[in-house]
Structure 1
C-alpha cells in the first residue's frame, strides 16, 4: 500500500522557487539562439573535490559528456569501444588501440602518452580511485597503442577502464597539486567555468570526434535541497533535474518523471572494529530489529524495493543465484547507546534514520542520530567515528561489475570500508570473485562473496532505490542511466 503523497505547502514551494530564480541564466560563451537552447541541469550533490576525476566528482564529468574513458559499457555491462577502438589480453597485460582523430578541448591531440599520463596519475594517487582498490596498474605507450599491466591477471581490466574516475584528460589538467578538468576533456561538451560548489558551465565542442552535439551548451546548478530541485522542474527553472525526492514525485506531472530500478542499495553499515557492534550477536539483533518494508512504504512511498541482499533488481541474475545465508543468533540489547550517522543530501535518508531510531530503540538500544551534509560527514564515517552509518550506495557504479564495490566496502584494505571490517574468509571470497573470468562463473562467485559478507552482519541492506529523474516537456533524448554515468549526451537537446 502506498502512503498518500505529502503535499508541498505553498510557502515551501514559493521559497524553493525563489532559491532557483535566475540561477540558470546562460553563463557560457554561447547563448541560446537559432541553434537551440542551452540545457539547464539541477544536480543534487555539489562537487566535493573541485571536480577532480579521481573522486566521485568524476561522475558529474561523465554525466555532462565532457570527460571520456578508453572503454564504455553497454546496457548489460559488457565493454564497448570509446577512446580505445579495440583491445586484447596477454596474461597480465592488455593492449589497447587508441582512436585516431581525437583532440582534447585545449586543441592538443589524444596520444598514447596522454593516456598513459592520465592512467598513471590515477594509479599512483593517494587514495586511489575505488576502481583500483587492490589493483597494481601500470601503463606504457607505444605509438597509438597503450599496454596496461596489472600485478596479477585481471579479467576485469576493460570494465575498470570504463570508470569515469579513469577519464583521459589533457596534460594541462595535471599541472598542479590537484587535477583540473576545465578545458581538458575530449567529449562533445567543454567544461568552461566552475563556480565552486554552486554552478558550472559547458559549451559545445565543435571538434568532437563523435559528431557535433545538438545543444549549444549546458548550465549546471548544484541544488542539495530536494524540495528546491522538484520546484525547479515544476516552475520551469530547470530542464533536467536529477534525484527527485520521493516525497515530491507524487505531486509532479507524472509525464515529466521517469522511474527506473537502479543498482543502488540503502544499507546500514555497522562498525565491527569498536563499540557496541563489535559483538556479532548485537549486529544480528540490529538486523532483526529493522523492518525494511515499513521504510519502503512509509519513507519511499513504495518507490523502492525491499532488499534481499546487497545487490538488487537492477541485476536480475543476483536473485536467481542467491540462496539462504547462515547468520549468527541475535543477542538481546540491554540499553546500549549507539550513534547512527547519515547525510541530508539525499532527502530520504534523514527520515530513514529517524525510522531506524524508533525500530532499534524498540529492540532495546538507545539511539542518537548525527545528520550532516555528505561533504561534512564522510571523513568521520570512513574513520569509524559512528557505531552505524546509513549510506545510499551504488553497487556497480565504477565498473559495471559488483566485485569492485564489494572489495571496496568489505575488503580488509578496501578504501570505502565504513564497517571497519576485516575477515579472512570474506577476503578469500572477494579475491575469488575478482579473479574469475567474466560470465556466469564470475556472477556465481560474486553472490558467494555477497553471502560471506551478509553472514557477518557487517552491513544490513534495507532497500534498493530507483532513479527518479525529471525532464521538462521540451527535453529530447536525455539519458536515463541506472549506473548514473550518462545524463546529457550529444543527442540531448531542448525544443
Structure 2
C-alpha cells in the first residue's frame, strides 16, 4: 500500500532545509510550477550506452542517477559532504555500526520503502559479482532496526560510510527488482523522480515522471534519453534542436555551439595512462618508467583539450581543492629502461571524443621513446571487459576520482589495490596496499587527506599510473532549458526542477 499523501505545500516546507545545496535536489529552478502536471518531456543525449543492461552495480549506475531514476540512502552536497536522501538522518553507534533513519517514501512500483527492503537492497549489492566499486575492500552488513531504522555494520571501522552509501552503485531498489540469481532490474523499481519505463538496448530509454516521489513532483513530464557515443553527433543533435541537453560535448565541437548553450564545469575527473603491471611489456618497472618519462602532459592540456583541462599533477586534480597543498612526491621509482622496439597495445574508447586523440598523441610520444605501438579504439561497452581482464598493455582512462563514494580513498582501493574491482592497471603492490589501508582506516578528516596523498605517492611511485590531464566537462543546454544539475562528481544531470 502507499503512504497517505501529505499536503504538497507542507511537504515542500519540510523538505527544503534538507535539500539546500545538495546536488541530488531540484536545483536552482526547484519547486513545482503551475504547469508541472502537463510539463514537457526532456530530450537528453548521453555519451555512454548501457554496458551492463543498466545494472545498478557497475558503470551503468551513473546513467541511472544522472537521469533521476535511482537514489541511495545518502547523496553528496555541493561541498562533497554526505547529505540526506532516502535516509533523513543517521548517527554512528560505535566504531563499526551506523544507524540510518528512513524518510517516508515509496518505490515506483507502489511498495513502501521499509527498513527490510533497504537492508535487502544493500545485501544484494554486497553479493554482486563483481562487487560495486564503492564496496571495494569493505564488508558491509545491513539489518532492519525497528519501523524506520536500518543498522549498517562494517567488518572494520569505516569513518566515511555515509559518503560510501551515496554511491550510485548502492542505489535502493524495490524487492521486486531482484531475481534469484542476484541480478537487479531498475525498470519501475527505483525511488527517484523519474521512472524508467522503456529500454531499447543501447540506443534509447524512456522515463516517465514518478508522481509519488518523496521530494515533490518533477516539472518535466518525462525524459526521452538517447545514447549517442559519437561526440560530434551529440553536439549536432543539440545544435539542430533534436535534444534539449547533451552531455560531454567534445572540445573540438564547443565553438560550434552558441555561447549561451555551453556550460563548462570543473570536475574531479582525471585522464590517466594506465600501464599493465601484471603481464606483458610493462611488468618491467623500468619500462613503465620509460613510458612515464616519454609523456608530455602539457601538450595534451594545451593541444588536445585546447585549454579546457589542466596538465596532470596526480590522481587528484585542482577540483579536489585540498590535494595540492598536501601532495607528496613519489619515492623509490625505478630508473627508466630502454624500450628497444618493445611492442605494446594501447587502448581507449571514443565515448569521450578527446580520448582517441589523446591516445594518438601518446602513441607518437611512446614511439619516439622507442616503443612500437598498436592503437585500439572501441566504444566503451565493447572494451570494458577486456580492459578489466588486463588484455591491453596500456589504457587511456578518464575517471572521476570521487564518483563512486565522494571519498578520496575509495578510488584508490577500487582502482589500484590487489583486490580492487576496477584495477585496469592490474597493480598489486604490498606497499600500495598498506598505504591505502592506512588511509582507509583514518577517521579524522584532515589526517585522512594526508594519508590519501601518501597513498597517491605510493601508487605513482610504481609508474603503473601516469596522470595526463584534469578535465573540465562541457555540457550543451538548450536556451529554453533550466534547472540542469551540473556537479563536479558527475552524478546528476536531470532533477525535479529540470524543465523546458
* 1:226 paired residue number: 231
Secondary structure in 1 matching 2:322: helix
Q: Provide the C-alpha distance between the structure 2 equivalents of 1:38 and 1:214, rounded to a whole number of angstroms.
A: 9
Q: Which runs of structure 2 are paired with 1:42-81 in the superposition (5 Å)? A: 42-81=45-84
Cα pair 2:37 2:221 within 8 Å, conserved:
no
2:247 counterpart of 1:247:
no
CA drift of 1:175 comes to: 3.1
Secondary structure in 1 matching 2:199: strand
2:377 counterpart of 1:374:
no
* 1:8 paired residue number: none
Q: Provide the C-alpha distance between the structure 1 equivalents of 2:95 and 2:211, rounded to a whole number of angstroms.
A: 40
Regions of 4+ moved over 6 Å? none
CA gap of 1:323–1:210, structure 2 versus 1, over 3 A, is same
Secondary structure in 1 matching 2:233: helix
Secondary structure in 2 matching 1:317: coil
2:127 counterpart of 1:156:
no
User: Which region of structure 1 is more displaced relative to structure 2, 442-451 or 363-372?
Assistant: 363-372
2:469 counterpart of 1:466:
no
Q: Provide the C-alpha distance between the structure 2 equivalents of 1:438 and 1:159, rounded to a whole number of angstroms.
A: 14
Q: Deviations over 1:105-133 (max 9, x none)?
A: 11111100110111000001111101001
Cα pair 1:108 1:170 within 8 Å, conserved:
yes
| Corresponding residue to 2:326 among 300, 308, 321 | 321
2:176 counterpart of 1:166:
no
Cα pair 2:56 2:170 within 8 Å, conserved:
yes
Q: Provide the C-alpha distance between the structure 1 equivalents of 2:190 and 2:444, rounded to a whole number of angstroms.
A: 30
2:222 counterpart of 1:217:
yes
CA drift of 1:328 comes to: 2.5
CA drift of 1:33 comes to: 9.7
Secondary structure in 1 matching 2:323: helix
Cα pair 2:218 2:496 within 8 Å, conserved:
yes
Secondary structure in 2 matching 1:200: strand
* 1:109 paired residue number: 112
Q: Provide the C-alpha distance between the structure 2 equivalents of 1:492 and 1:381, rounded to a whole number of angstroms.
A: 36
Q: Deviations over 1:211-251 (max 9, x none)?
A: 11111111101011111100011101110100001110122
Cα pair 2:106 2:212 within 8 Å, conserved:
yes
Secondary structure in 2 matching 1:59: helix
Q: Which runs of 5+ in 2 are unaligned?
A: 1-34
What is the TM-score normalised by the length of structure 1?
0.91
CA RMSD of aligned residues (A): 1.3
Q: Deviations over 1:324-382 (max 9, x none)?
A: 32233212221111111111221111111111111011111111111111112211111
Cα pair 1:156 1:438 within 8 Å, conserved:
no
2:38 counterpart of 1:35:
yes
* 1:199 paired residue number: 204
Cα pair 1:189 1:204 within 8 Å, conserved:
yes
Q: Provide the C-alpha distance between the structure 2 equivalents of 1:438 and 1:491, rounded to a whole number of angstroms.
A: 36
Cα pair 2:136 2:410 within 8 Å, conserved:
yes
CA drift of 1:482 comes to: 1.4
Cα pair 2:42 2:220 within 8 Å, conserved:
yes
* 1:342 paired residue number: 348
CA drift of 1:433 comes to: 0.9
Q: Which runs of 5+ in 1 are unaligned?
A: 1-31
Q: Provide the C-alpha distance between the structure 2 equivalents of 1:86 and 1:113, rounded to a whole number of angstroms.
A: 17
CA drift of 1:91 comes to: 2.0
Q: Provide the C-alpha distance between the structure 2 equivalents of 1:282 and 1:201, rounded to a whole number of angstroms.
A: 48
Q: What is the aligned length?
A: 462
Q: Deviations over 1:127-154 (max 9, x none)?
A: 1101001111111102211101111111
* 1:270 paired residue number: 275
2:484 counterpart of 1:478:
yes
CA drift of 1:176 comes to: 5.1
Q: Provide the C-alpha distance between the structure 1 equivalents of 2:260 and 2:95, rounded to a whole number of angstroms.
A: 51
Cα pair 2:36 2:219 within 8 Å, conserved:
no
CA gap of 1:109–1:263, structure 2 versus 1, over 3 A, is same
* 2:98 paired residue number: 94
Secondary structure in 2 matching 1:141: strand
Q: Provide the C-alpha distance between the structure 1 equivalents of 2:374 and 2:128, rounded to a whole number of angstroms.
A: 36
* 1:179 paired residue number: 184
